[in-house]
C-alpha cells in the first residue's frame, strides 16, 4: 500500500510537471524520449511501445562513461518530453547537459548507494522500469503502465533464472575488469572483486593485481571476466599471473550494431551472461 501511494503521488507530480512544461508529440504523434544509455532506451521502448520515439544518446558499441555530446544531442535533450538519465557520475557530460538544457520531465534512476549499474540486478531494474512508465504515462502514453507490467514480469523470470542457475557453483568469486557487477553479484550471492573501480578506464596498480591473484587461488576461481567495450590487457595479465582463463561478461552498457542487428536485447544478453557465469564459475 505504501509503494502504491508513493507511485500515485509521483504520477500526480509528473502530470503537473508535464502540464506546466507542455509535453508535445512529434510530427508523427509520438512522445519524444531521450535516454542517456542503452538500458534506459530499452526500458522506454518496451514501456512506451508505438507511442514513443526514443533517442539513445550513446551510439551502439560505444563506452557510455566517457560519452561526448554533439550539438544534435543537446537539441534532442532540450526538446524531449521525457529525459532518462543514470546520473551518479556515470555520464558526467550528460548530467551537465541535462541540468542546463532539459525542459521536459527528467527521470534520474541513479540509486543512492553509489553503484549506478542498477539494470544488472533485474529486480532493481523492474523498479526503474516502473518509474519510467510513470513518467511516460504522465506525458500521455496511455499504455505505459500495462506495458511496464509485462516488462516487470520478464525481469522477474530473468531474476528467478539467474538465482537458480547460479545457486550451486564451484566458486562464488566474481573476478571482473571493473566494478559494474556488484548489484548482480549481491542478487545471486556472489562476491565481486574488480581490477578497477566503477569506471573501466581506471588504472590498477601491481599490488592490486597481486592481491587479486592470491584471492583467486584462495577461492578456487578459474576465470576472470573481461568486457566487450574495455581493453582486456590488465585482465589477461591477472589471468596469466593467477593461472586463470578469461571469458567475456557483458555489462549491457552499449550493445554493438552486430548484436542489435541480430535481434539481441537486454534480456537475451543477460541470458548469455548467465551461461557465461555458469561456465566460468563451475555451476551445476
pLDDT given for residue 141 in this prediction: 98
Region 13-21 average pLDDT: 37
- Determine what percent of the chain is predicted with pLDDT higher than 70: 88
**132-161 as b/e: b if 16+ CB within 10 A:** bbbbbbbbbbeebbebbeebbebbeebbee
Pick the more confident residue, 38 or 4: 38
Residue 18 has pLDDT above 70, yes or no: no
pLDDT given for residue 34 in this prediction: 98
C-alpha distance from residue 283 to each of 172, 179, 218, 226 (Å): 9, 22, 18, 19
Ordered structural domains, the chain, with CATH: 2-162 (3.40.50.1980), 167-281 (3.40.50.1980)
Pick the more confident residue, 243 or 113: 243
Pick the more confident residue, 207 or 198: 207
pLDDT given for residue 205 in this prediction: 78
Residue 208 has pLDDT above 60, yes or no: yes
Please, which pLDDT band fits residue 171 given cuts at 50, 70 and 90? very high
pLDDT given for residue 198 in this prediction: 60
Radius of gyration (C-alpha) of the chain in whole angstroms: 20
- Return the closest-CA partner of residue 92 out of 120, 57, 61: 57
8 A C-beta contact, residue 224 and residue 246: yes
The Cα 283–Cα 268 span in angstroms is 20
The Cα 222–Cα 174 span in angstroms is 10
pTM over 0.85, yes/no: yes
Strands of 173-178's sheet in order across: 191-196, 173-178, 223-226, 245-248
Amino acid at each position: 500500500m505504501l509503494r502504491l501511494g508513493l507511485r500515485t503521488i509521483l504520477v500526480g507530480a509528473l502530470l503537473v510537471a508535464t502540464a506546466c512544461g507542455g509535453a508535445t508529440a512529434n510530427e508523427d504523434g509520438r512522445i519524444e524520449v531521450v535516454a542517456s544509455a542503452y538500458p534506459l532506451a530499452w526500458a522506454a521502448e518496451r514501456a512506451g511501445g508505438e507511442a514513443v520515439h526514443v533517442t539513445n544518446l550513446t551510439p551502439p558499441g560505444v563506452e557510455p562513461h566517457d560519452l561526448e555530446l554533439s550539438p544534435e544531442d543537446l537539441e534532442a535533450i532540450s526538446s524531449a518530453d521525457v529525459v532518462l538519465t543514470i546520473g551518479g557520475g556515470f555520464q558526467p557530460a550528460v548530467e551537465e547537459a541535462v541540468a542546463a538544457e532539459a525542459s521536459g520531465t527528467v527521470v534520474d534512476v541513479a540509486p543512492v548507494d553509489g553503484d549506478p549499474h542498477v539494470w544488472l540486478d533485474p529486480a532493481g531494474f523492474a523498479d526503474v522500469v516502473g518509474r519510467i512508465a510513470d513518467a511516460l504515462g504522465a506525458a500521455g502514453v496511455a499504455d505505459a503502465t500495462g506495458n511496464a507490467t509485462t516488462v516487470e514480469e520478464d525481469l522477474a523470470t530473468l531474476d528467478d533464472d539467474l538465482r537458480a542457475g547460479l545457486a550451486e557453483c564451484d566458486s562464488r568469486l566474481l573476478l571482473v575488469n571493473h566494478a559494474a557487477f556488484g548489484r548482480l553479484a549481491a542478487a545471486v550471492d556472489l562476491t565481486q572483486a574488480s581490477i578497477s573501480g566503477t569506471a573501466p578506464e581506471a588504472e590498477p596498480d601491481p599490488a592490486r593485481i597481486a592481491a587479486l591473484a592470491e584471492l583467486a587461488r584462495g577461492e578456487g576461481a578459474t576465470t576472470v571476466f573481461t568486457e566487450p567495450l574495455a581493453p582486456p590487457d590488465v585482465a589477461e595479465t591477472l589471468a596469466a599471473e593467477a593461472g586463470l582463463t578469461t571469458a567475456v561478461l557483458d555489462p549491457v552498457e552499449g550493445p554493438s550494431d552486430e548484436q542489435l542487428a541480430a535481434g539481441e536485447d537486454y534480456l537475451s544478453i543477460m541470458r548469455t551472461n548467465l551461461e557465461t557465469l555458469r561456465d566460468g564459475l563451475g555451476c551445476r
